[in-house]
Each structure stands twice: as structure tokens, then as C-alpha cells.
Amino acid sequence: DAGITQSPRHKVTETGTPVTLRCHQTENHRYMYWYRQDPGHGLRLIHYSYGVKDTDKGEVSDGYSVSRSKTEDFLLTLESATSSQTSVYFCAIRGTGGDYGYTFGSGTRLTVV
């Protein structure tokens, strides 16, 4: 399997607290992505990264920030968690070239109470 891991796998947190999710890859891929998956909404892109310190917003970026200080790590931070951010979060990596599909991590199930 491609080397991509997400941590933690499950987390319960309280409204208003900051939360950081981690995505780690060993493939040296340039592109990394954060998605959230919710019933009825499919996969929605939160943020993505073209490389170290090079990130951009996706379609649902409000309330989220990201950082990529090393090629292998892409962090997603919920600055002040809200109940609407209860979701399953997936990280994905992608090699260069248009015919490279994504490789996904196993996901983080986040519950904000």
C-alpha cells in the first residue's frame, strides 16, 4: 500500500477547542489534499498543497487552516471547532501528471460535542 497515514483515527472534542489532524506520507508526492465527507454532500475539498509552504483553499475552507512545513506532512487545523465540523476527514496524495489518481488515507472521524 502507498505510504499515507492519518492521525488520529478517531477524536472527540468540545466546541470551541482547537484541533489538529495530521497526514503523513512516505511517497515524496508533491500534491496533498484534505477532504471532508458528509452524508448527502459527498467529498468536499477543504485545502490542498502544491508543495512545502504552498497551499490553497478548496470549496469549504472556512474555519480551517493548513500548514505544510515538510514534504511528508500536511496538517489540518480547526481553529475553534464547531458541531458543523463533525465529519470524516480524508487526506489524499497525488503524484505529478494528470493521469495520476489520488491515494487516500484511512480517514479521521471527528466528533465535536
Residues that bind another protein (CB under 8 A): 31, 33, 42-43, 45, 48, 50, 90, 92, 94, 97-107
Q: Going by C-beta distance under 8 Å and a sequence separation of 6 or more, which residues neighbour residue 60?
A: 36, 44, 45, 46
Task: Compare residues 10 and 18 and give the one whose CB is closer to another protein.
Answer: 10
We find the least distance from the C-beta atom of residue 80 to another protein, in angstroms, to be: 27
We find the least distance from the C-beta atom of residue 55 to another protein, in angstroms, to be: 13
We find the least distance from the C-beta atom of residue 68 to another protein, in angstroms, to be: 15
Task: Compare residues 82 and 93 and give the one whose CB is closer to another protein.
Answer: 93
* DSSP string computed for 54-106: EEEE-TT-TTEEEEEEETTEEEEEESS--GGG-EEEEEEEE-SSTT---EE--
